[in-house]
Amino acid sequence: MKGVAPRDNVSQAGVDIKQVEVVIHKGNVFTPARIGVVAALNKTSARVFRKPKITVIPTGREVAPLNTELKSGQVYDINSII
């Protein structure tokens, strides 16, 4: 068995992540691995934005449900199924 020499398995500062390197790009979802990257940078927080939740409420006499016959000037309600 070989002994361990001084500085074996020790990386120099900056060899894995450069100082100006972007490590998590805009639009990435935080996963356990990405949280680990943030922690490796000695950061305890990061600014994130929650995916917005929206509701579409189709209204108007021109909006007709699917599986019905359209009358003149009507369109199908295609937003409720999304």
pLDDT digits (tens, 9 = 90+) for 12-70: 877 788 888 888 888 888 899 988 888 888 888 888 888 788 888 889 999 999 999 99
d(CA 80, CA 36): 39
Which sign, positive or negative, has the C-alpha torsion 71, 75, 80, 82? positive
pLDDT digits (tens, 9 = 90+) for 20-34: 888 888 888 889 998
pTM metric for this prediction = 0.45
- What is the per-residue pLDDT for 68? 94
Residue by residue, DSSP assigns 20-40 as T---S-TTPPP-HHHHHHHHH
